[in-house]
């Protein structure tokens, strides 16, 4: 039996992920979703998901594996990888989530594009934070939001990512609260 207060959102770095990035991700997850976080590497590598023809990694396969490895006290798990991810219908993805499921993943591979050296760390960390919150939002059943400042807005480019805030709009906040309440009474 796991107490409600023991449920956590796990951050699962895969391979080379800088602690500098994980810290702000952890802080924002805690602030937006209200769960405690913990850092726990669940996968050493994602070679099992490599598509040799594309030289990219199929994120859906990684999500299935992660969901299977998650500890019982996992409310959600967000993996962070530095390899390039894809799903078959798209050239690449910044991340993928199981809608209403346990696992999501983000890739830092393309998040360093077009940043001026003076603001590199700040902009880069902010992008990683936004992508992590966005994908976790999907695991809490949030869908893409038409409000272009909302963190659940769909982004095609890093410029889009930079344009949106790291917060949920009022509408998505209400939906998140509903879902959290639903999870809490289970
Ligand atoms: Zn999305
Ligand atoms: Zn929204």
pLDDT digits (tens, 9 = 90+) for 24-36: 999 999 999 999 9
CA of 69 to the centre of ligand 2 (A): 30
**Rounded percentage of the chain residues whose pLDDT exceeds 70:** 99
User: With 0-12 CB in 10 A as exposed, 13-18 as middle and 19+ as buried, what is 180?
Assistant: middle
> Tell me, what's the pLDDT at 94?
95
Instruction: State both tokens at 51.
Output: 């598509």
Question: 50 pairs with which residues across the strands?
Answer: 57
- How many whole angstroms separate alpha carbon 14 and alpha carbon 12? 6
| Unique residue bearing structure tokens 């990684």 | 62
Q: What is the pLDDT of residue 62?
A: 98
Residue 149 clears pLDDT 90, i.e. is over it: yes
From the CA of 145, how far away is ligand 2's center (Å)?
A: 5
- Ligand positioned closest to the Cα atom of 169: 2
Average pLDDT of the segment spanning 135-156:
96
pLDDT at 148: 92
| Cα-to-centroid distance, 100 and ligand 1 (Å) | 12
* Full-model pTM: 0.95
Residues whose CB is under 5 A from ligand 2 (ion)?
145, 147, 150, 152, 169, 172
Ligand nearest the Cα atom of residue 131 = 1
Please report the pLDDT score of residue 117 as a whole number: 85
* 173 CA from centroid of ligand 2 (Å): 7
Tell me which residue has tokens 């050296």: 117
Say what the pLDDT of residue 67 is. Answer: 96
The residue written with tokens 């952890």 in the block is: 26
Q: What percent of the chain lies above the pLDDT cut of 90?
A: 86
Ligand number nearest CA of 133 is: 1
Average confidence (pLDDT) over 124-139: 97
**Which has the closest alpha carbon to 176: 33, 70, 79?**
33
- Given this model, what pLDDT does residue 186 score? 65
Q: What is the mean pLDDT of residues 72-83?
A: 97
pLDDT of residue 116: 85
Q: Summarize the confidence of residues 40-68 as an average pLDDT.
A: 97
Q: With 70 as the cut, is the pLDDT of residue 131 above it?
A: yes
Which residues are designated catalytic?
135
The Cα–Cα gap between 127 and 172 comes to 20
- Residues 95-99 have a mean pLDDT of 97
Query: What pLDDT sits at residue 100?
Result: 97
H, E, C per residue of 78-134: EEEECCCEECCCCCCECEEECCCCCEEEEECCCCCCCCCHHHHHHHHHHHHHHHHHH
Q: Which residue bears the tokens 């998650």?
A: 70
Give me the pLDDT at residue 99, please.
97
SS3 20: helix
């Amino acid at each position: 039996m796991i107490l409600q207060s023991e449920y956590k959102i796990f951050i699962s770095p895969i391979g080379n992920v800088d602690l500098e990035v994980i810290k702000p991700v952890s802080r924002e997850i805690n602030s937006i979703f209200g769960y405690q976080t913990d850092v726990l590497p669940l996968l050493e590598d994602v070679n099992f998901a490599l598509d040799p023809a594309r030289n990219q990694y199929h994120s859906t396969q990684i999500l299935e594996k992660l969901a299977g490895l998650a500890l019982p006290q996992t409310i959600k798990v967000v993996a962070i990888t530095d390899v390039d991810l894809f799903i078959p219908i798209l050239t690449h993805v910044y991340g993928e989530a199981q809608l209403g499921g346990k696992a999501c993943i983000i890739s830092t591979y393309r998040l360093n594009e077009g940043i001026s050296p003076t603001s590199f760390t700040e902009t880069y960390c902010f992008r990683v934070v936004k992508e992590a919150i966005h994908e976790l939002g999907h695991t809490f059943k949030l869908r893409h939001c038409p409000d272009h400042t909302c963190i659940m807005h769909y982004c095609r480019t890093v410029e889009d990512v930079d344009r949106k805030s790291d917060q949920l709009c009022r509408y998505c906040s209400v939906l998140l609260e509903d879902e959290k309440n639903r999870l809490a009474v289970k």
